Structure 1
Amino acid sequence: MAKYFDVHPENPQRRTISGVADSIRADELVAYPTDSCYALGCRLGSRDGISRIRAIRHLDDRHHFTLMCQNFAQLGQFVQIDNDVFRAIKAATPGSYTFILPATKEVPRQLLHPKKKTVGVRIPDHAVVQALLAELGEPILSSTLLLPDEEEPLTQGWEIKERLDHEVDVVVDSGDCGTEPTTVIDFSGGGTEIVRRGAGDPSRFE
């Protein structure tokens, strides 16, 4: 049965955030809100967490996982960025964008796209996630909480608790955070490719 935390969306309770961070450190799988729908998240190097996310979402090994980062400095540890891309990402963050970039050696191999050696990264504009990332001190390995054969992600904490009670360890509820996933921009091929149009305005990358 999943633990359930009710967190204030703008002023998250420090003790609760600390408890969620401890759960992630203990290799537990967490469902948590972001600035563009809910996500499944686990510790960066968690093999069990990765396999559980893949099982819940029916994902294959070509799926791009996302590293949810606190800030630009942290993001820069895990992906290779040239000057033009640096400026483009810096101007768009924090926000509802995921960027696909070549990974550094800091990224566990099981997270990489098997052929491209890339990974998704993003910096969320959400007080609860920012507080959690600050407490944790490292990125959260994440994937949108979109269940198989469903067109929209789950958006209510109580519903996630009800439906995934025996598949996740923790549910963090801070109210509705929308149904639209991030806009995904792929910089890994030398140009700029809009892979998915979502919550972030894609026009700045066109």
Structure 2
Amino acid sequence: MADFIKIYEDNPNPREIKRVADAMRNGALVIYPTDTVYGLGCDITNKNALEKVARIKGVKLEKANFSFICEDLSNLSDYVSQIDSGTFKLLKRNLPGPYTFILPGNNNLPTVFKKKKTVGIRVPDHPIAIALVRELGRPIISTSIKDDDEVIEYTTDPSLIWEKWDHLVDIVIDGGYGGNIGSTIIDLTGDEPNWCVKEKAV
């Protein structure tokens, strides 16, 4: 059964944040709040955890379109090919925020993603998500958790999320009620930004 950990958005407890980040380093799958919907995430460097997330989502890991949850844009060059100043200004203007930006990946992507030519970058405007990434010291690979209900696409109550996911993940963070609209995806790999409709992204 997954641990159910209460962390307050206004003032995330450093001890609890460290507890979750340490678990992620050891391969834990964590459901956590963002500025949009609740997300399922793991350490970007833990292949076993990545494979578990892919299995849960029903996709092959090398073809999975997961988001990279980052603390800020300072480490963008670690995973993204060189971008022009206009693109960087667009990112700077909209992040942190409820957006996933699709950017050209570089050769530094984790081995399991080497064949992918693009990467989805997220900097959520949420203290818990940012605190987790900061404590972990590297991005979190993340995907949204969807509900089977055709009317309510995303569950917003963390206690209900825990009931549904406790046998699939290791930790569910109770950060209060979440949103029910995923992030907007903006593809920046073409000549002009392609502002997509609201997608099923964390």
**TM-score computed with the length of structure 2 as normaliser:** 0.89
Tell me the residue number matched to 1:78: 79
Match of 1:15, as an amino acid?
Answer: R
Aligned-partner Cα distance in 2 for 1:34–1:132: 11
Offset of residue 50 of structure 1: 2.2
Identical aligned residues as a percent:
37
Match of 2:169, as an amino acid?
Answer: V
Point out where structure 2 has 5 or more consecutive residues left out of the alignment: none
Tell me the residue number matched to 2:126: 126
Offset of residue 76 of structure 1: 3.4
CA contact (8 A) 2:25 2:46 kept: no
Tell me the residue number matched to 1:202: none
CA contact (8 A) 1:12 1:127 kept: yes
C-alpha root-mean-square deviation of aligned residues, in Å?
A: 2.0
SS in 2 for 1:163: helix
Tell me the residue number matched to 2:91: 89
Q: Which moved more, 1:73-82 or 1:117-126?
A: 73-82
Q: 1:149 to 1:118 in 2, by over 3 A?
A: farther
**Aligned pair 1:3/2:12, yes or no?**
no
Offset of residue 14 of structure 1: 0.9
Match of 1:101, as an amino acid?
Answer: L
Map of 1:36-185 to 2, 5 A cutoff? 36-60=36-60, 62-80=63-81, 81-111=83-113, 114=115, 117-147=117-147, 152-185=153-186
SS in 2 for 1:76: helix
**TM-score computed with the length of structure 1 as normaliser:** 0.88
SS in 2 for 1:72: coil
Aligned-partner Cα distance in 1 for 2:58–2:154: 14
Number of corresponding residues: 197
Offset of residue 188 of structure 1: 1.3
Aligned-partner Cα distance in 1 for 2:146–2:191: 29
Match of 2:6, as an amino acid?
Answer: D
Match of 1:88, as an amino acid?
Answer: L
Q: Which moved more, 1:188-197 or 1:42-51?
A: 188-197
Match of 1:86, as an amino acid?
Answer: F
CA contact (8 A) 1:57 1:148 kept: no
CA contact (8 A) 2:44 2:50 kept: no
Offset of residue 109 of structure 1: 3.7
CA deviations on 1:148-189 (whole Å, 9 max, x unpaired) are 675612222211211111110111111012111100001112
CA deviations on 1:25-78 (whole Å, 9 max, x unpaired) are 111111110000100100112222222222222235544211000011023321
Offset of residue 198 of structure 1: 6.1
Aligned-partner Cα distance in 2 for 1:79–1:148: 34
SS in 2 for 1:53: helix
Q: Which moved more, 1:187-196 or 1:31-40?
A: 187-196
CA contact (8 A) 1:41 1:143 kept: yes
Point out where structure 1 has 5 or more consecutive residues left out of the alignment: 200-206
